[in-house]
């Protein structure tokens, strides 16, 4: 029996919030650039970006282009609808992605387009972009499987 493919949760169920600290991330996403917030004083990455660096308390940030690759740090397969009307987007995989070249930062996203039974901790993934997400572009991740 073939494995189920990890789907994309529908836009109507999720509504990412932005603010002045995160807007540069979303602006880059529209351009299909995955960026990370790096402290302009000490270089530490912080994702999501916070007003103060947890290491040196600086408020200065540099937005750094990342390669868009990483590994699955943790994940959860959602196989049952958590809200009415969700059946069409099941199963989906919510994952914590450890981003390459971004220090110890991790990004919560989805792993999509691969069989759910092949998602595992340590799986190498790369970003793909879902445009037109209620006016935003969302980074998601997939893997090349053999």
Residues lying near Zn ion in the complex (CB under 5 A) are found at 39, 41-42, 44, 53, 55-56, 58
CB of 56 to Zn ion, least distance (A): 3
Nearer to Zn ion, 18 or 59 (CB): 59
Q: What is the CA radius of gyration of the chain?
A: 16
Nearer to Zn ion, 48 or 115 (CB): 48
CB of 51 to Zn ion, least distance (A): 12
Nearer to Zn ion, 40 or 121 (CB): 40
CB of 58 to Zn ion, least distance (A): 5
From the list 54, 58, 55, 70, the residue with the least C-alpha distance to 123 is: 70
Within 13 A of 113's CA, how many CA atoms are on the CB side? 12
CB of 11 to Zn ion, least distance (A): 35
Nearer to Zn ion, 42 or 81 (CB): 42
CB of 97 to Zn ion, least distance (A): 23
Nearer to Zn ion, 44 or 128 (CB): 44
Other C-beta atoms lying within 10 Å of the C-beta of residue 140 = 22
């Amino acid at each position: 029996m073939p494995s189920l493919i990890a789907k994309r949760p529908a836009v109507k169920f999720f509504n990412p919030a932005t603010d002045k600290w995160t807007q540069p991330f979303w602006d880059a996403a529209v351009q299909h650039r995955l960026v990370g917030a790096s402290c302009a004083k000490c270089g530490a990455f912080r994702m999501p970006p916070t007003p103060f660096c947890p290491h040196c308390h600086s408020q200065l940030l540099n937005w750094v282009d990342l390669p868009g690759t990483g590994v699955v740090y943790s994940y959860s397969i959602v196989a049952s609808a958590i809200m009415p009307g969700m059946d069409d987007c099941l199963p989906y995989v919510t994952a914590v992605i450890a981003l390459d070249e971004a220090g110890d930062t991790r990004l919560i996203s989805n792993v999509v387009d691969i069989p759910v039974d092949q998602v595992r901790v340590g799986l190498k993934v790369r970003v793909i972009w879902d445009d037109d997400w209620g006016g935003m572009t969302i980074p998601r991740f997939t893997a090349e499987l053999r």
